[in-house]
């Protein structure tokens, strides 16, 4: 019944957040959030999308004029909404409604995924015989928690009201994670393909998704199960009765084997979906250079960072200042920085694929070429999913204060540089550096904390095994 | 706790030196903070000594390199204009149409393009986030009649061979309703320069002469013109304007539309003081725009250079006159002087220390410029330009004798005209826009300034104790709770998230601050309220809501014997509060440094010292009681109205401290969209309330 | 003096020889001969200035052999034409702005010779489309060499564009580029003069005294090149090179606003010698004809007639103004040979003075002395266009083109008021550089201060948006506006780009230029119809009479862009790389610690010490990050968190040292 009560206030909070968003949508537009560099990057700004749609309608390539760099599907979905005006309503009302809905959907998906994660985790702890832990792990409803964090995070709200398409990108990422948690290969494949198609960086999520489908949701390290099984077998052989053997069977079935069939399904689905998406894009861009134009203008734009307009990342200033003959080298270095980290993390955290996905998302949002607060909103929301494992994270208040301070300071610095003209670019760059530092600290602390949690679990199980032996 | 820490250190291998230093700093946070605070105050007092001489860093300016071309012919014409204006006032007791026509005729006589610009004066309304938004074309209120229309007269000279990409603006505020001689003279000065510039061949930028109709205030007319210049509205809301602009047609023009001329490079507001000061012809420079934004230092430099070296005018920037006579400043100055002499005896290279009287003067000037920057209210019509990234200053020439008694206007116009001509000429030399010199600085005299790199030091020293003390407090509060054995059921004590409760409290109090600072916006809608009534309503609302909030937050009064955790709770709360005020102060120091500095002086000591009075009273020692009393005193001082009244009584000698002054002051602040108002409402007041809360915390 | 005369004789010999040569050439095959005309048109302007417009025309048959000998036609130009297959080309150097309001915009001179400041070049090639850009590049290089100007900056594809049909339409593959910031001076004029048969030694070009020309208020030298197909076969097509120099001079510089009250200002009397400081001594003998014209334009004529009707004395003899100069308004020092009048009543008048062959005795010096103050106004552009930037700050802005109706549109309305729906066409050509990222979907049109739907007024629209670092944006609009329109405003928003530090010019803080937009009115044609077309038509007269659309240019705009800190690259590289190194190293470090750790953690119970250590580290790093501290758990080892505090401490130390340094030095 406690659960039920939680559900009630959960929906209340959701409604509250939606109303807050609507109020902000109707807020006088002199705050013009939609043109803040923190919100609208060249990839996510709706204004550029409207321009692309206008070009398309006047029978030109939407990518002509290096304005729009998003996906044609998004253009086909949101484009018509950008030109329809309702009398008396703020323009772009429909788009903001779409974004609000997307936020709510992704929040509910996060919640469902979190619940399944929590259930699986507590059951696996039970299998290990750590009953108190499994109880305590259920005290905090991490799913609801994560969903609310995602909904009420100021970053999410600003990105949603500021008409940045990152809400939809986040939605498809969450969709693929949800599908993987629920072991729906087709849904996961759909989400993954769309996410890759929209913002390219989620393509590295294929590893955690495959792990998730293969091994199931997060669990303590696998060798603990093996030890336990060994021990049980030993005991049972010493005693030797049948029903014990029976329960040993299903326990050993609890010890997960890699579910190849599901993964193969997943890969097949990926093929299907991606071919489908590509065909659609090809049809859309038939007369305008077709697919290679698409790749050049989206992925090419993301990889070779030609647009140097400021954002909360540090790369814009770096590539505005760096010497031209080093440019390609540094491009390789910064993108390689993401790829280099994939393998070690995958090896170390392969028993926690969901957390692995979270870390990947965080790293990519730290190192991506045009970051915006929408990305931060996503990983901060997912952070709530692991509120039990990460409950004793260090520097929590420091990081909180840091995020608050930077997110307040960066608009002021930008204003001083761009609008007042009394500051210079270094002011804004300094806040970007600080923001990057805090993100680095957060990712490292999360990984540390998760590893420590694993150590704690291992320690407990080994002690249990010890006194079980003796 | 300190000795416990050191004891722990002693029985473990000695950590690395940096860590050791850090431990020491945190453990002895009280001493460190006291030292930092005192050092900050000392550095603040040292600023006048550390001021550097200004220098012209943009080489293209070349002020005074060209000989003045202003001829007596121009000046005679200008004088004629002045005479005509004054005669007009005498003859047809100053009908605005007449004088406007007269000025337009004079401008046309110089082959200038002349237009009238009709505008509806709009009283500046509260716009909380004005600082973050671009100046947008604002909405004209519906209930305006032609009576309330203001008409600027604008004359433009096109540079003969220029490509018309840039322009220089001369502004002369002028009230056609009541012509005073000073304004007429300023028109004369501007006209003499204008007529010179209409002939010269070296002009590279267009010249705009804006005769701002100042009957609704100088600022509003200039800002209305700028809004029309930079962000016009094309779909005009049709008020009954057909009857209004019958006067806005000038013969000899193709069309009487609004005219523009390129990007504005710089603007110069010329005024002439009414009453003569009896020393000498002197020049006042006003530079502060909204939120303490200053124009580029080079602009002030060239005016200063030309006035001093060419026209031999005395330059004045505003001072705190009350500080000039103060004894302790004088003694302090003498002290610095002695130190400087000693240092020079040690090493003649060290040029440290300035004469005492100079120090006092510098301090007075510094104080006033900090005050005006901190106020965030523009000190003249030049403030309107700063919102469009245009560097502008107001130059007010105050003659020796009052212009009414002045017998020879000619040579006065001559001097003023030559000054303006020189300034215009050196701005005209400029190829790039002003970017070389400083934008963030404080003036200690017309020729001395303190740049951002220097004046940030005192602020950093004042702010440094906050995180240190917060750290030590946090340690204190977290160390107290007994370490729960891992993997027991009680493991679920969110150890590292204990700050959440305090953070929640702090957040709610800040929300309260937002509500309180938004209230006057609604109060001023109610007609017929005296400032005192407003203030009482405001204050009562604030107090009431605060009490309600505390009761909702569960203000722990009824707790008979507080548990260990509750004992520590205040420390936790205080550390969060300290970090909040630290963030707020550093934010404000970027927006408006002077406000942050003054605010830090007021709030930091109180925040640092605030600890529950219970503790002091329980431990009845001399020291703790002293602590308690000075806590109370600081709390009293840090309360904004008290601080305002105290400063007012300290600085302006004219007595009469009325509590309603506070309301008027605040009203002026938010009417001018000053960020200082937001600071007081959202940062200062809530933190003060929280510190009071800590002060009366039962533990 | 003697020396002078000797010079004169030498010069005469030289001229004579050339004359012989040309004669010998001219009695060759009939269509082979080359022709040269020189003409000068003077015109008093309403604001007491004088427009003087030199027109030199040079024609030669286009032969296919490069090594053809030219007598009059400049060989370099002929080679240009042959090499790059130029069908038509125009190059103009301009200094100052043409004041459309006071100097008029409706007459052929202004619509041909009023050019944007700086250099403007357009060329039409008859080569296959894929070669056009290549030949354009070569052409720019050749011209920059020829005229000592930096025309070669037009080579890069970001500076030129290819308007489809609003500008010089129906000529084929056109390229158009401008350099608004090019400074024009005598080093551009000299090579231009070198193209004339007798440079500036004789003839009208001898008037061009550099100081008086460059003191002018407006100065535009222009070189126009066309291939005139005279026959069916391309064999006998001729190259027509016309060089014009348009100068607006002020007769006496010192006109203070002396008496503003006298509404009507007396026009200053001037003469050739007073405005140029020289006289014409003799024509250029190589010229086929060499004439000086004085134009009295429409408004002035009407004013003068009113004046005459008012003054009774001249009412007696009705035919006036063409009996030479004996009229109320002004007096001419020399009597013209011919008076050309426009066909309809009260229209502009041309006085023609042919220049004789040189004689030492008398030099030609035309002078005009005003007798009565006259105020008139020149015929204006149908819509007076002005363009300006909106908004402030360095992030975004808007360009607004504001067109206001003038009296000629009212005339048009009056003309065809018979049908109420009368429209006229306005072509707008707007080129923006790529770092002005224009949002074309934000284009708004306000007619008479009311927002309108574009499709109601825009007849055709062609947009080729700008590619970053590749091509400028080009917008061509054809508007159909009602005749009774008061004002029309086009408004379009843009974002300001952020460039790489190498892409900024040395004077980065001056800002960047948006070249001027071209507004043309094809429904109005500027052209004078003279009564006697039978008479010998000199090129300038035919130019004045050809029915050409009215073209006007708007102002050049200056857009300030924000600049990065040009002294920062090393700092930025090092700091950014440090942050990423920090991330990489400490994350790897966190992942690496594995087995040994766990063993130790399993078997040692005394985790207290490093627990303390951790807490200390927590506070430490928190303090260095300048926020308040957090509690730290005894659970984990902390070498990962060791890195950031140290780094930040180092950064802080460096910063402190830097502060100390900048204070002490």
Question: What is the 3-class SS of C602-645, one letter each residue?
Answer: HHCCCCHHHHHHHHHHHHHHHHHCCCCCCCCCCCCCCHHHHHHH
* CB contact at 8 A, C252 and C269: no
Distance CA(C331)–CA(A338), nearest Å, equals: 86
Tell me which of C348, C370, C392 is where a domain ends: C370
Least confident of B222-236, B270-284, B358-372: B270-284
B57 in contact with chain C, both atoms CB, cutoff 8 A: no
Q: Kindly list the residues from chain A whose CB atom is less than 8 angstroms away from the CB atom of residue C582.
A: 437, 440
- Is C362 in the same domain as C426? no
Whether residue A112 has pLDDT greater than 90: yes
Q: Can you give the pLDDT at residue A132?
A: 78
Q: Kindly list the residues from chain C whose CB atom is less than 8 angstroms away from the CB atom of residue B499.
A: 630
Q: Kindly list the residues from chain C whose CB atom is less than 8 angstroms away from the CB atom of residue A398.
A: 621-622, 625, 627-630
Higher pLDDT, B257 or B152: B152
Whether residue B643 has pLDDT greater than 90: no
- Candidates B115, B73, B311, B107; CA nearest to B194 is B107
Confidence of residue C629 (pLDDT cuts 50, 70, 90): very low
- Is C163 in the same domain as C131? yes
- Is C294 in the same domain as C427? no
Q: Which residues contact B566 (CB under 8 A, 6 or more apart)?
A: B556, B559, B699
Q: Can you give the pLDDT at residue C29?
A: 43
Q: Which residues contact B226 (CB under 8 A, 6 or more apart)?
A: B384, B385, B387, B388
Among B residues 578-597, those touching chain C with beta carbons less than 8 Å apart: 578-579, 582-583
Interface residue of C184, C257, C299, C444 to substitute, partner B, most B CBs within 10 Å: C257
Residue environment code for C412-444, b if the CB has 16+ CB neighbours within 10 A, otherwise e: bbeeeeeeeeeebbbbbbbbbbbbbbbbbbebb
Contact B582 C627 (CB under 8 A): yes
Paired tokens of C617: 């580290």
Confidence of residue A275 (pLDDT cuts 50, 70, 90): very high
Contact A420 B576 (CB under 8 A): no
Whether residue C655 has pLDDT greater than 70: yes
Whether this prediction's pTM lies above 0.80 is answered by yes
Tens-place pLDDT, residues C120-159: 999 998 888 889 999 999 999 999 999 989 999 999 989 9
* CB contact at 8 A, B391 and B266: yes
Q: Can you give the pLDDT at residue B8?
A: 41
Whether residue B65 has pLDDT greater than 90: no
Tens-place pLDDT, residues B324-351: 878 888 888 888 888 888 888 887 777 7
- Is C342 in the same domain as C395? no
Q: Can you give the pLDDT at residue C602?
A: 54
Contact C623 B201 (CB under 8 A): no
Higher pLDDT, B479 or B315: B315
Closest CA in chain B for residue A423:
B439
Whether residue A217 has pLDDT greater than 90: no
Q: Can you give the pLDDT at residue B532?
A: 81
Burial of A351 (0-12, 13-18, 19+ CB in 10 A): buried
| Chain B: closest CA distance from residue A87 (Å) | 17
Whether residue A86 has pLDDT greater than 80: no
What proportion of chain A, given as a percentage, has pLDDT over 70?
92
Q: Which of B105, B163, B471 sits opposite C622 (nearest CB)?
A: B471
Whether residue C316 has pLDDT greater than 70: no
Q: What is the mean pLDDT of residues A58-83?
A: 89
Interface residue of C474, C630, C631, C632 to substitute, partner A, most A CBs within 10 Å: C630
Distance CA(B468)–CA(B464), nearest Å, equals: 7
What proportion of chain C, given as a percentage, has pLDDT over 90?
26
Closest CA in chain C for residue B106:
C260
Identify the structural domains of chain B with CATH numbers, from first to last.
17-49+455-481+496-695 (no CATH), 71-123+131-318+379-439 (3.40.630.10), 319-377 (no CATH)
Which neighbouring-strand residues pair with B171?
B210, B269
Tens-place pLDDT, residues A324-350: 899 999 999 999 888 888 999 998 888
**Predicted complex ipTM:** 0.89
Contact C634 B483 (CB under 8 A): yes
Give the position of tokens 């769309």.
A194
Q: What is the mean pLDDT of residues A315-327?
A: 91
Q: Can you give the pLDDT at residue B459?
A: 94
Contact B164 C556 (CB under 8 A): yes
Confidence of residue A372 (pLDDT cuts 50, 70, 90): very high
* CB contact at 8 A, C205 and C39: no
Distance CA(C101)–CA(C576), nearest Å, equals: 55
B497 in contact with chain A, both atoms CB, cutoff 8 A: yes
Average pLDDT of the residues of chain B? 82
Paired tokens of C326: 């004996």
- Candidates B88, B44, B129, B114; CA nearest to B514 is B129
Distance CA(A58)–CA(A188), nearest Å, equals: 37
Whether residue C258 has pLDDT greater than 60: no
Q: What is the mean pLDDT of residues A386-395?
A: 83
Does C617 reside within a domain? no
Size of chain A, expressed as the number of residues it contains? 470
Quote the number of domains for chain C: 2
Confidence of residue C3 (pLDDT cuts 50, 70, 90): very low
Distance CA(A145)–CA(B270), nearest Å, equals: 62
Q: What is the mean pLDDT of residues C91-103?
A: 90
Q: Can you give the pLDDT at residue A133?
A: 78
CATH of the domain at C552: 2.60.40.740
Does C593 reside within a domain? no
Residue spans of beta strands (DSSP E) within C73-185: 86-95, 118-125, 160-161, 173-179
Q: Kindly list the residues from chain C whose CB atom is less than 8 angstroms away from the CB atom of residue B164.
A: 97, 555-556
Tens-place pLDDT, residues A243-253: 555 555 555 55
Least confident of A303-317, B328-342, B484-498, B572-586: B484-498
Interface residue of A444, A457, A464, A465 to substitute, partner C, most C CBs within 10 Å: A444
User: From its phi and psi, is residue B461 left (phi > 0), alpha (psi between -120 and 50) or beta?
Assistant: alpha
Tell me which of C315, C336, C370 is where a domain ends: C370
- Give just the sign of the alpha carbon dihedral B102, B106, B109, B110: negative
Whether residue B47 has pLDDT greater than 60: yes
What phi and psi values does residue C176 have, to the nearest 5 degrees? -135, 130
Q: Can you give the pLDDT at residue B494?
A: 57
Q: Kindly list the residues from chain A whose CB atom is less than 8 angstroms away from the CB atom of residue B576.
A: 397
- Is C289 in the same domain as C215? yes
Closest CA in chain A for residue B433:
A421
Paired tokens of C77: 């130009």
Q: Which of B255, B387, B470 sits opposite C629 (nearest CB)?
A: B470
Tens-place pLDDT, residues A441-464: 999 999 989 998 888 888 888 888
Q: Can you give the pLDDT at residue C405?
A: 85
Give the rounded distance of the alpha carbon of C568 from its chain centre. Answer: 36
What proportion of chain B, given as a percentage, has pLDDT over 70?
84
Distance CA(C38)–CA(B370), nearest Å, equals: 70
Paired tokens of B657: 């401290």
Quote the domain boundaries for residue C503. Answer: 383-531+538-559
| Chain A: closest CA distance from residue B296 (Å) | 8
- Is C245 in the same domain as C214? yes
Higher pLDDT, B675 or C529: B675
Listed in sequence order, the DSSP H helices in A182-221 are 185-199, 206-215
Least confident of B27-31, B217-221, B518-522: B518-522
Q: Can you give the pLDDT at residue A2?
A: 42
Closest CA in chain A for residue C632:
A394
Q: Which chains touch B (3 or more CB pairs under 8 A)?
A: A, C
Does C592 reside within a domain? no
Confidence of residue B556 (pLDDT cuts 50, 70, 90): low
Local structure of residue B307 (DSSP, 8 states):
I
Q: What is the mean pLDDT of residues A26-30?
A: 66
Distance CA(A363)–CA(A357), nearest Å, equals: 10
* CB contact at 8 A, B598 and B370: yes
End-to-end CA separation in angstroms for chain C: 68
Q: Can you give the pLDDT at residue B330?
A: 87
Q: Which of B18, B262, B473 sits opposite C558 (nearest CB)?
A: B262
Contact B470 C635 (CB under 8 A): no
Distance CA(C179)–CA(C177), nearest Å, equals: 7
Q: Can you give the pLDDT at residue B480?
A: 53
| Chain C: closest CA distance from residue B689 (Å) | 20
Distance CA(A412)–CA(A421), nearest Å, equals: 12
What proportion of chain A, given as a percentage, has pLDDT over 90?
47
Q: Which of A130, A132, A419 sits opposite B134 (nearest CB)?
A: A419
Paired tokens of C397: 């802005």
- Is C327 in the same domain as C404? no
Average pLDDT of the residues of chain C? 79
Distance CA(B99)–CA(B106), nearest Å, equals: 11
Q: Which chains touch A (3 or more CB pairs under 8 A)?
A: B, C
A441 in contact with chain C, both atoms CB, cutoff 8 A: yes
What proportion of chain C, given as a percentage, has pLDDT over 70?
76
Burial of B572 (0-12, 13-18, 19+ CB in 10 A): buried
Least confident of A130-134, A168-172, A237-241, B400-404: A237-241
| Chain A: closest CA distance from residue B496 (Å) | 5
Q: What is the mean pLDDT of residues B572-588?
A: 92
Contact A408 B587 (CB under 8 A): yes
Q: Which chains touch C (3 or more CB pairs under 8 A)?
A: A, B
Q: Can you give the pLDDT at residue B497?
A: 75
């Amino acid at each position: 019944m406690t659960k039920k009560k939680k559900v009630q206030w959960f929906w209340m909070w959701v409604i509250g957040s939606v109303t807050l968003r609507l109020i902000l949508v109707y807020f006088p537009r002199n705050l013009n959030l939609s043109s803040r560099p923190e919100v609208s990057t060249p990839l996510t700004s709706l204004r550029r999308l409207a321009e692309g749609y206008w070009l398309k309608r006047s029978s030109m390539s939407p990518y002509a004029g290096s304005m729009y760099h998003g996906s044609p599907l998004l253009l086909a979905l949101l484009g018509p909404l950008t030109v329809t005006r309702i009398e008396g309503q703020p323009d772009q009302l429909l788009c903001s409604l779409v974004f609000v809905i997307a936020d709510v959907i992704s929040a509910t998906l996060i919640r469902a995924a979190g619940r399944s994660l929590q259930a699986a985790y507590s059951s696996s702890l039970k299998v290990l015989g750590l009953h108190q832990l499994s109880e305590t792990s259920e005290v905090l409803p991490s799913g609801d928690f994560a969903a609310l964090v995602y909904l009420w995070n100021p970053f999410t709200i600003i990105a949603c009201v500021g008409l940045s398409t990152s809400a939809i990108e986040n939605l498809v990422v969450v969709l693929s994670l949800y599908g993987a948690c629920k072991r729906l290969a087709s849904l996961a494949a759909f989400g993954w393909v769309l996410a890759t198609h929209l913002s390219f960086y989620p393509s590295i999520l294929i590893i955690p998704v495959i792990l998730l489908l293969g091994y199931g949701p997060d669990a303590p390290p696998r060798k603990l199960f093996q030890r336990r099984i060994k021990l049980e077998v030993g005991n049972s052989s010493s005693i030797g009765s049948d029903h014990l053997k029976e329960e040993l069977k299903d326990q050993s079935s609890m010890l997960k084997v890699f579910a190849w069939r599901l993964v193969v399904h997943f890969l097949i689905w990926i093929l299907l979906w991606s071919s489908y998406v590509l065909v659609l894009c090809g049809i859309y861009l038939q007369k305008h250079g077709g697919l290679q134009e698409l790749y050049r203008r989206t992925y090419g734009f993301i990889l070779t960072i030609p647009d140097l307009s400021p954002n909360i990342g540090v790369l814009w200033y770096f590539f505005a200042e760096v010497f031209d003959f080093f440019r390609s080298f540094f491009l390789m270095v910064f993108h390689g920085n993401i790829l280099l980290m994939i393998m070690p993390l995958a090896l170390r955290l392969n028993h926690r694929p969901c957390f692995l996905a979270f870390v990947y998302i965080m790293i990519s949002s730290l190192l991506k070429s045009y970051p915006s607060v929408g990305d931060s909103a996503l990983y901060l929301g997912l952070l709530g999913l692991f509120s039990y494992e990460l409950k004793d994270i260090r520097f929590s208040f420091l990081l909180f204060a840091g995020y608050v301070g930077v997110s307040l300071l960066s608009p002021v610095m930008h204003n001083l540089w761009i609008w007042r003209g009394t500051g210079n670019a270094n002011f804004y760059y300094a806040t970007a550096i600080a923001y990057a530092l805090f993100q680095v600290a957060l990712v490292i602390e999360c990984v540390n904390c998760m590893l420590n949690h694993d150590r704690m679990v291992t320690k407990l199980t080994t002690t249990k095994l010890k006194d079980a032996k003796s | 706790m300190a000795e416990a820490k050191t004891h722990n250190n002693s029985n473990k291998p000695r950590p690395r030196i940096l860590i050791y230093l850090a431990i020491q700093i945190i453990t002895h946070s009280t001493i460190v903070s006291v030292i930092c605070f005192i050092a900050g105050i000392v550095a603040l007092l040292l600023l006048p000594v550390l001021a550097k001489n200004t220098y012209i860093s943009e080489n293209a300016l070349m002020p005074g390199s060209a000989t003045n071309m202003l001829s007596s012919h121009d000046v005679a014409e200008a004088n004629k204009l002045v005479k005509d204006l004054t005669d007009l006032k005498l003859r047809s007791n100053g009908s605005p149409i007449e004088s406007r026509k007269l000025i337009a005729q004079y401008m046309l006589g110089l082959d200038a393009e002349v237009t009238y610009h009709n505008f509806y004066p709009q009283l500046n309304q509260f716009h909380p986030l004005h600082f973050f938004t671009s100046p947008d074309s604002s909405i004209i209120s519906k209930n305006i009649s032609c009576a309330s229309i203001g008409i600027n007269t604008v004359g433009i000279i096109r540079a003969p061979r220029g490509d018309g990409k840039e322009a220089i603006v001369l502004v002369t505020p002028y009230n056609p309703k009541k012509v005073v001689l000073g304004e007429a003279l300023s028109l004369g000065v501007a006209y003499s320069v204008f007529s010179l510039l209409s002939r010269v061949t070296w002009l590279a930028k267009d010249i705009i002469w804006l005769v701002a109709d100042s009957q609704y205030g100088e600022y509003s007319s200039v800002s209305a013109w700028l809004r029309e210049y930079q962000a016009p509205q094309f779909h005009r809301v049709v008020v009954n304007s057909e009857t209004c602009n019958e006067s806005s047609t000038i013969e000899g023009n193709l069309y009487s539309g609004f005219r523009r001329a390129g990007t504005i490079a710089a603007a110069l507001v010329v005024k002439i003081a009414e009453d003569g000061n009896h020393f000498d012809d002197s020049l006042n420079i006003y530079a502060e725009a909204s939120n303490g934004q200053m124009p580029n230092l080079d602009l002030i430099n060239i005016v200063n250079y030309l006035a001093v070296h060419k026209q031999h005018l005395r330059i004045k920037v505003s001072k705190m006159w009350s500080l000039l006579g103060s004894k302790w400043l004088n003694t302090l100055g003498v002290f610095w002087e002695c130190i400087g002499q000693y240092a020079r005896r040690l090493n003649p290279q060290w040029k440290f220390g300035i004469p005492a009287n100079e120090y006092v003067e510098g301090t007075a000037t510094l104080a006033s410029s900090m005050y005006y920057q901190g106020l965030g209210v523009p000190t003249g019509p030049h403030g309107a330009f700063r919102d469009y990234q245009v560097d502008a200053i107001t130059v007010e020439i105050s003659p020796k004798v009052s212009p009414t008694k002045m017998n020879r206007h000619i040579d006065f116009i001559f001097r003023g005209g030559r000054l303006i001509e020189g300034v215009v000429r050196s701005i005209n030399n400029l190829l790039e826009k002003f970017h070389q010199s400083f934008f963030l600085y404080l003036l200690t005299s017309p020729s001395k300034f303190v740049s951002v790199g220097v004046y940030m030091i005192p602020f950093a020293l004042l702010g440094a104790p906050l995180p240190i003390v917060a750290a030590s407090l946090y340690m204190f509060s977290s160390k107290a709770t007994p370490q729960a054995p891992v993997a027991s059921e009680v493991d679920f004590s969110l150890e590292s998230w204990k700050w959440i409760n305090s953070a929640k409290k702090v957040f709610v109090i800040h929300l309260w601050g937002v509500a309180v600072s938004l209230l006057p916006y609604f109060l001023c809608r109610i007609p017929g309220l005296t400032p005192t009534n407003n203030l009482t309503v405001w204050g009562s609302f604030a107090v009431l809501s605060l009490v309600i909030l505390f009761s909702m937050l569960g203000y722990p009064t009824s707790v008979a014997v507080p548990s260990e955790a509750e004992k520590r709770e205040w420390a936790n709360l205080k550390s969060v509060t300290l970090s909040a005020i630290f963030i707020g102060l550093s934010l404000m120091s970027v927006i408006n440094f002077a406000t942050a500095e003054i605010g830090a002086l007021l709030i930091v000591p109180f925040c640092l010292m605030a600890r529950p009075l219970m503790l002091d009273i329980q431990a009845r020692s001399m020291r703790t009681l002293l602590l308690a009393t000075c806590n109370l005193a600081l709390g009293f001082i840090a309360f904004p109205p008290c601080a305002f009244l105290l400063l007012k009584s300290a600085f302006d000698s004219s007595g009469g401290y009325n509590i309603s002054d506070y309301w008027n002051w605040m009203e002026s602040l938010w009417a001018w969209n000053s960020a200082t108002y937001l600071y007081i409402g959202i940062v200062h007041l809530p933190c003060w309330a929280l510190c009071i809360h800590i002060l009366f915390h039962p533990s | 003096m003697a020396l002078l005369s000797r010079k004169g004789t030498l010069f005469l010999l030289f001229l004579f020889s050339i004359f012989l040569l040309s004669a010998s050439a001219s009695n060759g095959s009939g269509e082979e001969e080359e022709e040269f005309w020189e003409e000068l048109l003077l015109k008093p302007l309403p604001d007491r200035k004088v427009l003087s417009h030199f027109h030199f025309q040079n024609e030669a048959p286009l032969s296919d052999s490069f090594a053809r000998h030219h007598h009059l036609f400049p060989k370099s130009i002929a080679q240009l034409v042959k090499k790059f297959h130029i069908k038509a080309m125009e190059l103009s150097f301009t200094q100052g702005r043409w004041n459309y309001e006071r100097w008029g915009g409706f007459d052929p001179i202004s619509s041909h010779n009023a050019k944007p400041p700086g250099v403007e070049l357009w060329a039409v090639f008859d080569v296959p489309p894929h070669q056009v850009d290549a030949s354009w590049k070569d052409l720019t290089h050749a011209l920059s060499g020829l005229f000592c100007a930096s025309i070669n900056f037009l080579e890069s594809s970001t500076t030129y564009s290819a308007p489809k049909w609003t500008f010089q339409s129906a000529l084929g593959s056109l390229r158009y580029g401008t350099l608004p910031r090019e400074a024009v001076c005598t080093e551009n004029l000299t090579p231009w003069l070198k193209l004339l048969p007798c440079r500036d030694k004789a003839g009208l070009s001898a008037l061009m005294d550099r100081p008086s020309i460059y003191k002018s208020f407006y100065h535009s030298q222009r070189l126009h090149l066309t291939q005139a197909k005279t026959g069916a076969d391309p064999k006998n097509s001729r190259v027509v090179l016309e060089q014009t120099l348009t100068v607006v001079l002020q007769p006496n510089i010192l006109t203070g606003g002396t008496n503003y009250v006298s509404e009507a200002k007396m026009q200053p009397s001037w003469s050739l010698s007073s405005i140029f400081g020289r006289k014409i001594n003799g024509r250029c003998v190589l010229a086929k004809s060499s004439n000086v014209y004085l134009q009295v334009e429409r408004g002035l004529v009407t004013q003068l007639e009113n004046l005459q009707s008012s003054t009774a004395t001249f009412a007696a003899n009705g035919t006036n103004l063409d009996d030479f100069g004996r009229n109320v308004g002004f007096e001419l020092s020399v009597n013209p040979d011919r008076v050309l009048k426009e066909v309809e009543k009260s229209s502009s008048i041309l006085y023609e003075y042919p220049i004789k062959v040189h004689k030492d005795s008398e030099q030609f010096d035309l002078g005009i002395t005003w007798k009565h103050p006259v105020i008139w106004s020149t015929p204006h552009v149908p819509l007076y266009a002005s363009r300006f930037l909106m908004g402030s700050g360095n992030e975004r802005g808007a360009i607004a083109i504001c067109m206001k109706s003038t009296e000629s549109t009212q005339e048009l309305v009056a003309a065809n008021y018979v049908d109420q729906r009368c429209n006229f066409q306005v072509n707008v050509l707007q080129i923006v550089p790529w770092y002005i990222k224009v949002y074309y979907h934000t284009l708004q049109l306000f007619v008479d201060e009311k927002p309108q739907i574009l499709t109601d007024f825009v007849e055709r629209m062609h947009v080729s948006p700008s590619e970053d670092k590749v091509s400028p944006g080009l917008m061509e609009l054809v508007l159909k506006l009602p005749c009774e329109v008061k004002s029309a405003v086009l408004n379009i928003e843009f974002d300001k780009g952020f460039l790489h530090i190498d892409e900024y010019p040395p004077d980065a803080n001056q800002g960047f230029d948006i070249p001027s937009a071209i507004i043309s009115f094809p429904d109005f044609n500027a052209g004078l119809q003279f009564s006697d077309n039978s008479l010998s038509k000199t090129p300038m007269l035919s130019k004045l009479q050809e029915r050409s659309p009215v073209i006007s240019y708007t102002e050049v705009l200056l857009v300030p862009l924000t600049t990065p800190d040009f002294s920062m690259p090393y700092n930025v590289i090092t700091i950014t790389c440090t942050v990423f190194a920090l991330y990489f190293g400490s994350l790897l470090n966190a992942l690496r610690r594995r087995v040994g750790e766990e063993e130790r953690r399993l078997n040692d119970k005394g985790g207290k010490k490093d627990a303390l250590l951790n807490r200390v580290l927590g506070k430490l790093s928190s303090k260095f990050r300048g926020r308040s501290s957090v509690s730290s758990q005894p659970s984990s080892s902390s070498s990962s968190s060791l890195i950031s505090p140290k780094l930040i401490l180092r950064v802080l130390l460096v910063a402190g040292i830097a502060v100390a340094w900048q204070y002490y030095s």
